Amino acid sequence: MPESSPTTLIATVGAKPQLVTLALDLLLAQGKLVRQVVVIHTTLDRPETRASIARLGGEFALAYPGVRLRPVCLCDEAGEPLDDVTSEPAIREAFRVLYHEIRVAKSAGQRVHLSIAGGRKTLAVYGMAAAQLLFDAGDAAWHLDSDPQVVQSKTLHAGPGQTRLTPVPVLRWSQVSPTLIGLAQIDDPFDAVQTQERRLREHAARRAQEFVTGALSPAEREAAELVVREGLTNQQIGERLCRSHRTVGNQLSAAYAKLKDFYELPEADRHTLTSVLAMYYLKPTP
């Protein structure tokens, strides 16, 4: 069934322009209302890249009259086209461009489909990072699978069943915690990452405090604190608190069960307790 929401396809491209058109054909066949395709590439000084962009331009004019093709060249801070995406400055710029293009499309109320099949692998990695920061439930990331004969022929279009879009799971941070919904309002992706990390730490610390002070009994808190702070065994905790080994074991078992229920975990043990409550017991002193 056709969708009513306009869609932007963002694709990384190198020497294989067919990876863009094959993905676009499959999305259109799914009823996606693709109105724009943004292809992100390195310098046109590379003959294979220049040929890819030229071939796509000609094909879009003929086969996709209702779809806008917008090539985006990766440039350094001085505005010079990047020859590759291997150095740290180049990678950072690639991340900024991918983040910016997704953010612009989302700000315009469009759905975004990201194809990570073409171009440099570093672009795929940072494209997924940008998707984690900005995607919502209506967006998707894809990898393209093609039959060998399609790859060898270099055709821009394939027959039925010769190509497949495989969804790539995206952990959308806006759905992990309501505190992260505003990430899309931040212009710089590195600022967004730092904000995400800070907000997640603050949220984890609040939850840990709620668990320790609200769910554990005073005796369970004492035992749990010695596990987290000092890594003591049940025997050592018993000696420190003047309790039997069995009493300490029962108290920690109760703490594990409460931890499991509070955080809705499949299981909880000493390692889980330490990992979750380190944010509370080992937080730096102001």
* CATH code of 197's domain: 1.10.10.10
Nearest alpha-carbon partner for 110 in 52, 36, 214, 187? 36
Are 178 and 80 in contact by the 8 Å Cβ rule? The answer is: no
Same domain? For 130 and 207 the reply is no
Gap between the terminal Cα atoms of the chain: 57
Is pLDDT above 50 for 1?
Answer: no
Report the alpha-carbon distance of residue 60 to residue 72 in Å, rounded: 16
Q: How many whole angstroms separate alpha carbon 15 and alpha carbon 33?
A: 27
CATH number assigned to the domain comprising residue 12: 3.40.50.10770
Residue keyed to tokens 């609040």:
206
Distance CA 11, CA 98 (A): 10
Q: How far apart are CA 39 and CA 189, in angstroms?
A: 19
Asked whether the predicted pLDDT for residue 267 surpasses 70, the reply is yes
Does pLDDT of 85 surpass 90? no
Q: Are residues 203 and 149 in the same domain?
A: no
Task: Kindly state whether residue 129 falls inside one of the protein's structural domains.
Answer: yes
DSSP letters along 154-195, please? Answer: T-SS--TTSEEEEEEP---HHHH-GGGGGGGG-S-HHHHHHH
What's the mean pLDDT when you consider all of the chain? 86
Q: Are residues 43 and 151 in the same domain?
A: yes
- The structure's pTM equals 0.69
Q: Give the pLDDT band (50/70/90) at residue 262.
A: very high
Residues 125 and 223 in one domain: no
In a domain, 176, yes or no: no
Mean pLDDT of 185-195: 69
Q: What does DSSP assign to residue 283? A: P
Both 161 and 34 in one domain: the answer is yes
Number of neighbours of residue 239 by Cβ within 10 angstroms: 13
**CA pair distance 194, 94, nearest whole angstrom:** 18
Rg from Cα positions in the chain: 26
- Tell me which of 171, 203, 234 is where a domain ends: 171
Position 97 in a domain: yes
Structural domain tally of the chain?
2
Assess whether pLDDT exceeds 90 at residue 78. no
Same domain, 225 and 143: no
Q: Which of 121, 144, 171 is the last residue of a domain?
A: 171
Quote the domain boundaries for residue 227. 187-281
Same-domain check for residues 210 and 166:
no
Question: Which of 171, 198, 225 is at the close of a domain?
Answer: 171
The mean per-residue pLDDT over the stretch 51-79 comes to 90
Tell whether 160 and 211 lie within a shared domain. no
Average the pLDDT over 143-151 and give the result: 87
Under 8 Å between Cβ of 102 and 14 = no
Two structure tokens written together for 188: 């710089």
Judgement on whether residues 204 and 238 belong to the same structural domain of the protein: yes
SS3 141: strand
Quick one: 115 and 144 in the same domain?
yes
What separation in angstroms does the CA of 180 have from each of 130, 132, 192, 198? 14, 11, 9, 10
